[in-house]
Chain A
Amino acid sequence: MSQEKDKEISEAVMKGLGRVIEPDFKKDLVTLKMIEDLSVKDGIVTFTVILTTPACPLKEEIKKACLEALKPIEGIRHVDIHMTARTTGGGAKEGKAEIEGVKNVIAVSSGKGGVGKSTTSVNLAIALTELGAKVGILDSDVYGPNIPLMLGINALPKQVNNRWFPPKVYEIPVMSMAFMAPPGAPLIWRGPMLHGIITQFIRDVEWGELDYLVVDMPPGTGDAQLSLAQLVPVTGTVIVTTPQEVALSDARRGLAMFQKVNVPILGIVENMSTFHCPNCNHETPIFSQGGGEKAAIELKVPFLGRIPIDLSIRVAGDEGRPIGISHPESPLSAAYLKIAGNIASRISILNSEFQPITLGTLA
């Protein structure tokens, strides 16, 4: 086959891909500059699709749409598509200190304690890792920092030349308030102390290159939460809630706090949805059902998904081997993967819409 023919095919391929619409951004792949390294040799087409997140839930769908679009082109013998990602960073850094190497920060918060915020943080981080992203966890729960326990971490961060190197588990670097105090000791953080330690976490920790840093926030909507939301350059926040009616009022409070400081809401996760009894197979909605979804509709934010009550989540957490690691095949792990994918695409969309504020210089 002639080079001329290959060139013809190459042009037809670009035209064809120019008709493939990215479902999240609602624009075509060529306009979005997602196609790179296109080559055609003897009718064999290869190119790379650059996604905005390795955790893109639409990966397969996009690949299929590309193949479909190229079908009518004559002379193609084979199509080879590489899928890769260059995670986009957010505009959250505006007016805040940057965290070196960290592209996006996801704050996991809740209007009140005991809804499974830390469990959700840990399992989201693992799900995002599973989807191919580089992830870290910052446990900033000032009242009960127990993420090291849930992940079975016994090591402490190493300090070299004023830089902190966090311990890693399942490839996830973890920093926690728990490292700063002996186990069992009550944690009493005064405002300025908290401010100091969070500033240190942001400035002095060697996170490495991260697509996402998951921050486990303290529960509630008080001063500590507000200053954290201000100090940490949050790309967006995930609100964890339980399904009962009162959850709605808590979620509303949490939402209002983040809206006040213009931190985007990524969506609501409903935790402890229903209990599937292992003995009689009966489904019991212990904490009622649908509250999280109702809250999302009322507050006009995305509903990211629900996680049922399951003993294995709690056992896995207590043993330091989270469900995504100990039972990757379980429907619970699948539920977390789905939520993680939803969060990743919401962040990509937010980043694409971000416009910086220009601040003039003063004479």
Chain B
Amino acid sequence: MPAPTPQSIDAPDRRRVRIVWRDGHESIYENRYLRLSCPCASCVNEWTGERTLREADIPKEIRPASWHLVGQYALSIEFSDHHDTGIYSYELLRKLCPCPLCHPVSG
């Protein structure tokens, strides 16, 4: 299966990031949720996969300060807390999509 690819990535307002995917799906992420999901080695233990980042350490008003595309596969985000080592592959971003279709609530 080819990895999912975005058609566009933007910030509709100061709180959220939006991705429209090539297959028509739309994902909207809260800024803080993205920051807390950072996959980099200083946020996640590389061996155990355990998240070492403490939720309490991340400011409520955090948002992306700058971003750029990495090769053909990922988005790199520098957050307003100067954390810039997170490379979010499109595959990961699609998995993180919080919409009810991707994460149905059971019951």
Binding site for B on A (CB under 8 A): 91-92, 94-96, 229-230, 259-263, 355, 357-363
Q: How far is the CA of A358 from the CA of B69 in the complex (A)?
A: 10
Closest residue of B by beta carbon distance from A354 = B72
Q: Among the interface residues A263, A360, A361, which one has the most CB atoms of the partner chain B within 10 A? A: A360
The 7 closest A-B pairs by CB, nearest first: A360-B10, A95-B69, A262-B72, A262-B73, A358-B8, A261-B73, A230-B71
Indicate which residue in B5, B69, B74, B90 contacts A359 across the interface (CB closer than 8 Å).
B69
Is B8 a contact of A260 with CB atoms below 8 Å? no
Binding site for A on B (CB under 8 A): 2-3, 5-11, 14, 22, 63-75, 90
Is B10 a contact of A262 with CB atoms below 8 Å? no
Q: How far is the CA of A358 from the CA of B5 in the complex (A)?
A: 11
- What residues of chain A lie closer than 8 Å to B2, measured between beta carbons? 259
Q: Among the interface residues A91, A94, A357, A359, which one has the most CB atoms of the partner chain B within 10 A? A: A357
Closest residue of A by beta carbon distance from B10 = A360
Known: A358-B9, A362-B63. 10 other contacts (CB 8 A): A95-B68, A95-B74, A260-B73, A261-B72, A262-B5, A262-B71, A358-B8, A359-B68, A360-B11, A361-B10
| 10 A–B contacts, CB within 8 A, in A order | A95-B70, A261-B72, A262-B71, A262-B72, A262-B90, A357-B6, A358-B7, A360-B8, A360-B11, A362-B11
Closest residue of B by beta carbon distance from A230 = B71
- What residues of chain A lie closer than 8 Å to B64, measured between beta carbons? 362
Indicate which residue in A96, A359, A361, A362 contacts B71 across the interface (CB closer than 8 Å).
A96
Is A363 a contact of B71 with CB atoms below 8 Å? no
Indicate which residue in B7, B14, B69 contacts A363 across the interface (CB closer than 8 Å).
B14
- What residues of chain B lie closer than 8 Å to A95, measured between beta carbons? 68-72, 74
